[in-house]
Amino acid sequence: MTGSPVLTSSASAQQFQVAHEPGDPVPGPDDADRTDREVVRLGLGKFGKVLVVDAIIRIRPPSRRNIEGFRNWIAQLPETIGVFVVSGAEDFLVHIAVRDNQDLYAFVIDRLTERPEVADARTTVVYEHLHKTQITPNT
Q: What is the pLDDT of residues 79-103, one digit of tens each?
A: 999 999 999 999 999 999 999 999 9
Q: C-alpha distances in angstroms, 139 versus 54, 132, 136?
A: 34, 18, 9
Rounded mean pLDDT, 61-78: 97
Residue 65 has pLDDT above 90, yes or no: yes
Give yes or no for a contact between 56 and 124, defined as CB atoms under 8 angstroms apart: yes
Share of residues in the chain with pLDDT > 70 (%): 65
Q: What is the pLDDT of residue 132?
A: 85
**How many C-beta neighbours within 10 Å does residue 45 have?**
10
* CATH for 47-125 (3.40.1800.10, 3.30.70.920, 3.30.530.20, 3.40.50.2000): 3.30.70.920
Is the pLDDT at 128 greater than 50? The verdict is: yes
pLDDT band at residue 131 under the 50/70/90 scheme: confident
Dist. CA 117–CA 134, nearest whole Å: 38
From CA 91, how far away is CA 55, in angstroms rounded? 11
Residue ranges, CATH 3.30.70.920, the chain? 47-125
